[in-house]
Amino acid sequence: MNILIYILIILLSFAFMEFAAWFTHKYVMHGFMWKFHKDHHQKVLRWLPLELNDVFVVIFAVPSFLFIFLGILYKNNYNLSIGIGLTLYGIAYFFVHEIIVHNRFKWNFKMDNKYVQAVRKAHKVHHSFTDKDPSNNFGFVFLIPLEYFSHTNKD
């Protein structure tokens, strides 16, 4: 029975991270830390393989690492489960945002279904704004406005 609780904690942690990422994207990245996120919208340092925006990878990785580390260190499966959920979200985010949407690593990964088309369309609209305001569509993995699912295969 405990394993089901840990799986539920992993799933809830994963889901929580989408809302945390949405909030951070809207109010932090497009707010007081715009100077780091700006490079992602305007490609200020085109000669670098990394973006200043990649600092957020480290910021989001710290809680994941700490929950996993402390969970293992103190044999606390609740902390470990939270850390696993956060890490799985990070992997999903990387896959969706960096590979499917931006193709930053040129892996020629091809997927063409309604979800992928909706994510790409929502993110394309988000990137149509090169300044921090106005902007929209701050979700990453599953907080995608439903309207983009009905616009697939039309662009």
Q: What's the pLDDT at 103? A: 82
Q: What's the pLDDT at 4? A: 97
Using one digit for the tens of pLDDT, what is the confidence trace for 103-150?
A: 877 777 677 788 888 888 888 888 787 777 777 878 778 778 888 888
Using one digit for the tens of pLDDT, what is the confidence trace for 50-93?
A: 888 899 999 999 999 999 999 999 999 999 999 999 999 999 99
- pLDDT of 31 higher than 50: yes
Using pLDDT thresholds of 50, 70 and 90, give the confidence band for residue 155. very low
Place of tokens 């985010």: 93
Q: What residues contact residue 77 under an 8 Å CB cut-off, 6+ apart?
A: 2, 6, 71
Q: What's the pLDDT at 9? A: 98
Question: For 89-106, what is the mean pLDDT?
Answer: 87
Which three-class secondary structure string do you get for the chain?
CHHHHHHHHHHHHHHHHHHHHHHHHHHHHHHHCHHHHHHHHHCCCCCCCCCHHHHHHHHHHHHHHHHHHHHHHCCCHHHHHHHHHHHHHHHHHHHHHHHHHCCCCCCCCCCCCHHHHHHHHHHHHHHCCCCCCCCCCCCCCCCCCCHHHHCCCCC
What angle in degrees, to the nearest 10, is found between the helix axes of 55-73 and 34-42? 120
Using pLDDT thresholds of 50, 70 and 90, give the confidence band for residue 48. low
